[in-house]
Amino acid sequence: MIDRYVNNLSQTLVSKYPNELPPYGITRYGIKFIITNILPIMLLLLVGFMLNNYNNVLMSILSFSLLRMTSGGYHSKYPELCLIYSTIIIISIASFGDNFEGFEWIISGIALILVTIFAPSNIENQTKILKKYFKYLKYISILTVLIGTLIQNPIVSCSMLAQSLLLVRMKGGE
């Protein structure tokens, strides 16, 4: 659905403004980036504001996303499902993460073990980074979890645990 919308919008814009816009492929990439990345973050922040939980939503987005960038993880086949899953995860953590106060060391410890074992995961087709540098992504992911551990915030710890759980491959790994 999102791909179809992006294709139609890109085609329409490029044909209507051929001198002002880059070629179809570049325009399509830009529009898809905005729709699949920026729009969901803005919507999550809006929901956080409406639920009077803005700070927790922002903290959850940042900690989840920072670890996600270097560790990879499960990718849904459809952008619409990714949007739904991400929204549910972030809002749930922001709403209920404070209930895990006092357990940050345990939660972070589990996240650290998972990241050490599985990161980076399912990142091969999601990045332009050469495979020979993936070990550095693992080190950066471990460092990210360690820094999150030092922060000692249940929202940060739960976000990193949720992201580290997405590293585990359900079909037996590689």
pLDDT of residue 174: 46
Spatial distance between the Cα atoms of 65 and 159, rounded to a whole number of angstroms: 9
Q: Which has the closest alpha carbon to 90: 47, 59, 60? A: 60
pLDDT of residue 126: 67
Single pTM value for the model: 0.81
Spatial distance between the Cα atoms of 150 and 160, rounded to a whole number of angstroms: 13
> Helices in 72-153 by DSSP H: which ranges?
79-96, 104-118, 134-151
The confidence band for 171, taking pLDDT boundaries of 50, 70 and 90, is low
Average predicted confidence (pLDDT) for the chain = 89
Of the spans 8-22, 65-79, 87-101, which averages the highest pLDDT? Answer: 87-101
Computed over its alpha carbons, how large is the radius of gyration of the chain?
Answer: 18
Name the DSSP letter for residue 167: T
pLDDT of residue 36: 79
Rounded to the nearest 10 degrees, what angle do helices 104-118 and 154-165 cross at?
A: 30
pLDDT at 38 over 90: no
pLDDT in tens, 99-119: 999 999 999 999 999 999 998
Contacts made by residues 81-84, CB under 8 angstroms, sequence distance 24+? 82/36, 83/36, 83/40
Rounded to whole angstroms, the maximal C-alpha distance in the chain is: 59
pLDDT of residue 35: 82
The tokens 């919507």 sit on which residue? Answer: 43
Q: Which residue(s) pair with 121 in the sheet? A: 72
Q: Which residue(s) pair with 72 in the sheet? A: 121
In this prediction, residues 34-60 reach a mean pLDDT of 90
pLDDT of residue 155: 97
pLDDT of residue 34: 84
